[in-house]
């Protein structure tokens, strides 16, 4: 796999995440008590043996750059290769933000050209939660002698409405793609692309040049769909857990699903570790009154209250008499005495004062923006 260049496109519009994405790109969404969404795809790349990864950013990338740093935690602080971060820039040829995924890649052609890897693996969207070894996909790509291999998954665990937000594929018996519908009103199957592509780097470069020369900017719409007949595009089936945290509901649901031991086992215990930025917090402390059940608790928490079916990120304080149920509490928030939170998402460093009560609906959690005092 050290012959494959990794590219993560984190751009994307995250309006559906509402207040949660005001200050961060969707790739930087906190998940599972200590992680950011991008940790999963980046760790997948590292665990698959990819040693050169470019992260192309646009939307609110400051928190993402802060998180990734030099790539130390992913073992990507290398003398040669390693982690590269590409925010948009101005040059004689380009003076705007990235206009689409193909445009973003095109603007960084020099990175593609300069690297000596023969193949490229592109991960579109840094907000997907899954564990995958890309080595098997690469073997499949070689074995099929494909031009492009994409990864698809049977979305049997998705609501029909959610399928309308994905790219739906049709394939023949040899797994070769015959059709690709991007965000269709009437999905023809429940096989959806999860936005991972492998191809030769030289092919990628020529496709990008052609695309941009025609004034097009989108990798899926203007390259993948247009070339589906003229190129050998194959689908590699992924059977594991996969979620894209592209809306508040999916964000909430994905976090809650991590309470399921089988999903945690798959994500964290098999096929390599998930790496993330180190915070040097001390282990969580439970006082005598603590009653914590079915919950994930990060380092640095101090708990004296009742916590059920919830995710507590690092450094959260839950005081005496407070009750936290079915909630996501991000880093550094404080829940004071006797406060009650049900179906609530607290962003970072929120303070819920004594005795306050916040209750959301089962599928429609209340969101409290960062540093708010309730």
Partner 1 sequence: MKKHEVIGLLLAGGQGSRLGVLTKEIAKPAVLYGGKYRIIDFSLSNCINSGIHTVGVLTQYQPLKLNNHIGIGKPWDMDRLNGGLTILAPYLKNEKGEWYKGTANAVYQNIQYVDKIDPEYVVILSGDHIYKMNYSKMLAFHKEKKADATISVIEVPIEEASRYGIMNATEEGSIYEFEEKPEKPKSNLASMGVYIFSWKVLREYLIRDNAYQDSNNDFGKNIIPRMLNDGLSMWAYRFEGYWRDVGTIQAYWESNMDLIKRIPNFNLFDPGWRVYTPNPVQPAHYVGTNGSIKTSIVAEGCMVYGKVSNSVIFPGVYIGENAVVEDSIIMSNSVVKKGSYIKKTILDEKVVVGENAKIGIGQEVPNEYRPAIYNSGITVVGEYANIPAYAVIGKNVMIDMQVTEADFVTLEVESGKSIFKGGVEG
- The structure tokens 């996909």 sit at 137
In the list 13, 270, 283, 373, the residue contacting partner 1 (rule: CB under 8 A) is 283
Q: Which residue's CB is nearer to partner 1, number 178 or number 287?
A: 287
The one segment of 56-64, 148-156, 182-190, 282-290 that binds partner 1 by CB under 8 A: 282-290
| Residue located via tokens 């609906």 | 361
> Which is it for the CA torsion 111, 113, 118, 120, positive or negative?
positive
Three-state SS at 221: helix
Question: Rounded to whole angstroms, how far apart are CA atoms 111 and 115?
Answer: 6
* R_g (Cα) of the chain, nearest Å: 21
Q: Which is nearer to partner 1, 3 or 294 (CB)?
A: 294
- Distance between CA atoms of residues 244 and 158, nearest Å: 11
Instruction: Give yes or no for residue 287 binding partner 1 (CB under 8 A).
Output: yes
Phi and psi, residue 14, nearest 5°: -120, 35
**Binding status of residue 255 toward partner 1 by CB under 8 A:** no
Site for partner 1 in 35-64 (CB under 8 A): 35
Cα–Cα dist 185/9, whole Å? 25
The reply to whether 137 sits near partner 1 by the rule CB under 8 A is no
- Is 33 among the residues that bind partner 1 (CB under 8 A)? yes
Among 126-134, 207-215, 224-232, 310-318, which window interacts with partner 1 (CB under 8 A)?
A: 310-318
**Closest separation in Å from C-beta 252 to partner 1:** 17
Q: β-strands 30-31, 128-129: how paired?
A: unpaired
Considering only residues 328-347, where is the footprint of partner 1 by CB under 8 A? none
Nearer to partner 1 by C-beta: 233 or 307? 307
E-strand stretches of 3-129: 4-9, 30-31, 35-36, 52-56, 82-86, 119-124, 128-129
Check binding of 292 to partner 1 (CB under 8 A): yes
Asked if 137 contacts 237 with a C-beta cutoff of 8 angstroms, the reply is: no
One residue of 261, 262, 361, 362 binding partner 1 per CB under 8 A: 261
**Binding footprint of partner 1 on the chain (CB under 8 A):** 32-35, 73, 259, 261, 264, 267-268, 273-275, 278, 280, 282-300, 302, 304, 311-314
């Amino acid at each position: 796999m050290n012959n494959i260049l990794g590219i993560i496109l984190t751009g994307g519009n995250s309006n559906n995440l509402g207040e949660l994405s005001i200050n961060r790109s969707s790739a930087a969404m906190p998940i599972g008590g200590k992680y950011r969404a991008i940790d999963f795809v980046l760790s997948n790349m590292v665990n698959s043996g990819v040693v050169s990864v470019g992260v192309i950013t646009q939307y609110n990338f400051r928190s993402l750059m802060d998180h990734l740093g030099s790539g130390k935690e992913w073992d990507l602080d290398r003398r040669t290769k390693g982690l590269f971060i590409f925010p948009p820039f101005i040059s004689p040829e380009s003076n705007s933000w990235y206009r689409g995924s193909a445009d973003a890649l095109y603007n960084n052609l020099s990175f593609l050209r300069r690297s000596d890897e023969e193949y490229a693996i592109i991960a579109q969207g840094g907000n997907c939660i899954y564990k995958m070894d890309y080595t098997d996909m690469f073997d499949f790509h070689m074995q099929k002698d494909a031009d492009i291999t994409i990864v698809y998954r049977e979305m049997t665990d998705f609501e029909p409405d959610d399928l309308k937000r994905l790219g739906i594929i049709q394939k023949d018996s040899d797994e070769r793609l015959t059709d690709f519908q991007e965000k269709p009103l009437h999905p023809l199957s429940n096989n959806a692309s999860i936005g991972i592509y492998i191809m030769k780097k030289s092919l990628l470069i020529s496709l990008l040049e052609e695309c941009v020369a025609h004034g097009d900017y989108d990798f899926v719409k203007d390259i993948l769909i247009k070339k589906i007949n003229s190129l050998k595009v194959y689908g590699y089936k992924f059977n594991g857990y996969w979620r894209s945290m592209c809306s508040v509901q999916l964000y909430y649901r994905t976090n809650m699903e991590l309470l399921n031991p089988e999903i945690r086992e798959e994500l964290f215990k098999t096929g390599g570790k998930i790496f993330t930025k180190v915070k040097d917090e001390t282990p969580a402390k439970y006082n005598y009154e603590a009653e914590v059940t079915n919950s994930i608790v990060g380092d640095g928490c101090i708990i004296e209250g009742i916590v059920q079916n919830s995710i507590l990120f690092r450094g959260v304080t839950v005081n005496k008499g407070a009750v936290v149920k079915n909630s996501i509490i991000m880093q550094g928030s404080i829940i004071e005495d006797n406060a009650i939170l049900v179906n609530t998402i607290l962003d970072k460093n929120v303070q819920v004062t004594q005795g306050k009560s916040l209750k959301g609906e089962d599928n429609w959690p209340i969101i409290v923006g960062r540093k708010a005092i309730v």
